[in-house]
A and B are shown apart, each in its own frame.
Chain A
Amino acid sequence: MIHVYGVVDGLDEVPPIAGVEDAPLERRRVAGLDLVLSRSATPPSAEVSRETVLRHAQVVEALTRRSAAILPAQLGRGFRDEDQLASAVAEQAAQLERGLERVRGCVEFGLRATTELPPAPEADTGSAYMQARLDQVRLQDDLVERLHEPLARLARETTLQRRGGGVTAAYLVERDEVPAFEAEAARLEHADGVTVVCTGPWPPYSFAAGTP
């Protein structure tokens, strides 16, 4: 099976590290796009080991440092053979080209924020249920306004998910804006009553898919 790490542009050379299962990294030109991959004798499986996740991430990091733009591939879907890979890439080639432009010169940062409030108790009437849900939405709105919006102003693009008493966001940040973004993130550490975690810079995983 073929394991893909990402679609790259302007990669100087393949990093001198081994891929998943210690397989050597290879560079392939498919439909005018540069792909980095490795081969494995093991068939695809629904189970993913910790080693595989970390190794995949390590290769993507190394590729990010060595290229002008990268669309990290999602782990967990391998290709049986070159033909299957070639047809999948060819079908999406135009979209992948646009995707590379979208993330060029950018890195990704992450935000996770949850409130200290316990999750809403089980409601026993319909009105109580609706009120609890409304409170939750308002709480999320507050987190979005206090934490997400200041960071979003420094980003080229953002994603935002609301879940229960918290929000998770990702930011696509141009390299020049990174110091300003990090300073803003440091300021948010003082947010009251909220657990905040900011991570990065990451390869632009959250912005690799979904380009129209």
Chain B
Amino acid sequence: MSNDSLQYQVTLLDLVDRVLGKGVVLSGDITLSVADVDLVYVGLRVLLSSVATLEELDSGAASA
């Protein structure tokens, strides 16, 4: 593979990483649906507050 093509690919990797993985998501919930019927909304905000608590526990334990 030529160096130019490699350079293009590493830049493309950075781009795709950003476009698909970063950026603002205007609604932060996961919808579980079967046969086009929305069944469960997993409220990620609720989930995250638990994660934040875990991180605090983690650093708390570290300084103990």
Q: Do chains A and B touch in the complex (CB under 8 A)?
A: yes
* Contact, CB under 8 Å: B15 / A74: no
A71 interface contact, C-beta 8 A? yes
Interchain Cβ contacts within 8 Å, total number: 78
- Tell me, in angstroms, the Cα distance from A124 to B64 when the chains sit together: 31
A-side contacts of B24, CB under 8 Å: 6-7, 71-74, 96, 99, 208-209
A181 interface contact, C-beta 8 A? no
List B residues 5-54 near A (Cβ within 8 Å): 10-11, 13-16, 18-27
With both chains docked as a complex, state the minimum distance between the C-beta of A84 and any C-beta of chain B, in angstroms: 8
With both chains docked as a complex, state the minimum distance between the C-beta of A48 and any C-beta of chain B, in angstroms: 7
A57 interface contact, C-beta 8 A? yes
A88 interface contact, C-beta 8 A? yes
Residue of A nearest to B24 (CB): A208
With both chains docked as a complex, state the minimum distance between the C-beta of B48 and any C-beta of chain A, in angstroms: 10
- Tell me, in angstroms, the Cα distance from A76 to B11 when the chains sit together: 20
Residue tally, chain B, CB below 8 Å to A: 16
- Tell me, in angstroms, the Cα distance from A57 to B15 when the chains sit together: 8
Residue tally, chain A, CB below 8 Å to B: 35
* Contact, CB under 8 Å: A205 / B26: no
Residue from the set B13, B19, B21 with the largest chain A CB neighbour count within 10 Å: B19
* Contact, CB under 8 Å: A112 / B26: no
- Tell me, in angstroms, the Cα distance from A167 to B25 when the chains sit together: 24
* Contact, CB under 8 Å: B23 / A74: yes
A45 interface contact, C-beta 8 A? no
A56 interface contact, C-beta 8 A? yes
Residue of B nearest to A91 (CB): B27
With both chains docked as a complex, state the minimum distance between the C-beta of B13 and any C-beta of chain A, in angstroms: 8
* Contact, CB under 8 Å: B25 / A205: no
A-side contacts of B22, CB under 8 Å: 72, 74, 170, 205-206, 208-209
A-side contacts of B10, CB under 8 Å: 112, 197, 199
A-side contacts of B27, CB under 8 Å: 77, 88, 91-92
Q: Chain A: residues with CB nearer than 8 A to chain B?
A: 4, 6-7, 48, 53-54, 56-57, 60, 71-77, 79, 85, 88-89, 91-92, 96, 99, 108, 110, 112, 170, 197, 199, 202, 205-206, 208-209
